[in-house]
Chain A
């Protein structure tokens, strides 16, 4: 039995083609067990690359299938999944892409991977009923109370900021807008949200992004408006609130305590 390396030896050889096949394998007809073991090597790597290709279609479009599969192969070899739930296998792919020297020629590639992973999170985010319109109206009716309100937002709502025009680039790959007209060097904040059963990507201003990020941290409405405002440009929260309410992303409204100076 000592010749049998067990699951550890089998597993180690799966992702490292430089290693010999694990010990203790036999075949009925004396054919090479290593060649047969190659079926598993191929199953593992192809299925993991396919899973990444499913999760990052625009990243693949940006670099082409051959480059993408080579890059995904390298990622899978270094970072096999840690869970059988493959929906989350792309977590970590953006960081890998950012540090993958051959991808340096497409400087926004890692941020596009971040955006696509955020879309995946939004797609599978927990369902939650929005606050009924009448309740929203009642909560917002008293202007004096507004600054102390705390908004509970849907977990599908995610922000991805980038020094590149990732929202416009992503849209152009869905047939929204003209790719040639996109200046990739324009910084953009992408707001990712579930609209019904699909996931939308909307480019928002840096101020709106700061406002929503503050609300997500649990800041009171007044504090969130302050964070979004600059000396030159006070932030008007109405359009952003309209976007959240209109997309059923406002789940609840509570009140911050009266004490001053508290941090969320």
Chain B
């Protein structure tokens, strides 16, 4: 059972040596910003799209994405594969994904450690997974299948969660480490999710970060959250993607970069969308940190 993912992991890792996202800042591409992006060709490292939004035959979405992709690196980020679900992977959905990846040849493909479909219904939310040997086996089998079908290494995103399961017998970071080791997938390190989950579950954020397989990080996500409280008045943060990145998450980003080095970093904003220049300015805050990391040591001092 423990070696089930190993042979495939080696194959996938070998394939992963192709194109990758530049170690620069990117933003999520929204239809509201298509024209402005085309006209201004912003100095961003990449754009990211949600795969499911482009699983339509033709029309303006493909028209604009094709043109924007010609100018920029692209990350395709799935939100509907339900990798953490009990149900078998939806092969028709995998086919759609393969077709999309074939069409746009993105530098990166990523998905979530979560589930969203069951019994043929799709719930359009990233639902939590218990962490134990049964779910580990299932998640690894699903990721093996995804990587085999798509012929590429994928990145798996750490989740933002609000509840935990009595059925869990290990912690989230250890679970993710085992998945990465067994499948050869990379880690999409969502620092907002890390902050949200550690706050929501009283976890030690520093210990969580250090326990993750940080050598496997292929991309970082930064986003905003909303604040609520649980029934005892303790903070309950909601991963809303509807606000600027919090100061605490920027601090966590600085710390994470010390371990990961410069790595592609996405500013995620899906709701309460501001004008594009506002998003761009926020993304460039990440860009400046990445530039400072890449600069020679002497210049780094000056930049600081």
Contact = CB atoms under 8 A, between A and B. Distances in A.
Contacts of B125: 14, 40, 43-44, 47
B192 to A, nearest CB: 15
B115 interface: yes
Nearest to B165: A24
B60 interface: yes
A125 B58 contact: yes
A217 to B, nearest CB: 21
B75 interface: no
Nearest to B228: A39
A87 interface: yes
A11 B123 contact: yes
Contact of A127 (B52, B59, B230): B59
B162 interface: yes
B183 interface: no
Interface residues of A, number: 49
Interface string B80-105: 11100111001001001000000000
B236 interface: yes
A73 B116 CA distance: 19
Nearest to B59: A124
A59 B166 CA distance: 44
B58 A126 contact: yes
B86 A7 contact: yes
A259 to B, nearest CB: 34
Contacts of B60: 123, 197-198
B62 interface: yes
A3 to B, nearest CB: 6
B61 A124 contact: yes
Contacts of A124: 56-59, 61
B178 to A, nearest CB: 19
A4 B164 CA distance: 12
B121 interface: yes
Interface string A176-214: 000000000000000000100110000000000000000
A39 B125 CA distance: 10
B298 interface: no
Contact of B123 (A6, A29, A80): A80
Interface residues of B, number: 51
A8 B56 CA distance: 29
Contacts, number: 144
Nearest to A156: B59
A39 B127 contact: no
A3 B166 contact: yes
B161 to A, nearest CB: 9
B118 A7 contact: yes
Interface stretch (A30-38, A92-100, A102-110, A130-138): A30-38
A62 B171 CA distance: 50
Contacts of A82: 120-122
B258 interface: no
Interface string A65-79: 000000000000000
Nearest to B53: A87
Contacts of A126: 57-58
Contacts of B79: 84
Contacts of A83: 93, 122
B167 interface: yes
Contacts of B117: 84
A238 interface: no
Given A26-B164, A44-B124, A84-B80, A31 B232 contact: yes
Interface in B44-87: 52-53, 55-63, 79-82, 85-87
Given A82-B122, A127-B59, A156-B59, 9 more contacts: A4-B165, A7-B127, A29-B234, A37-B163, A44-B123, A48-B124, A80-B122, A83-B93, A126-B57
Interface of A: 1, 3-4, 6-8, 10-11, 14-15, 24-33, 35-37, 39-40, 43-44, 47-48, 51, 80-87, 123-128, 155-156, 194, 197-198
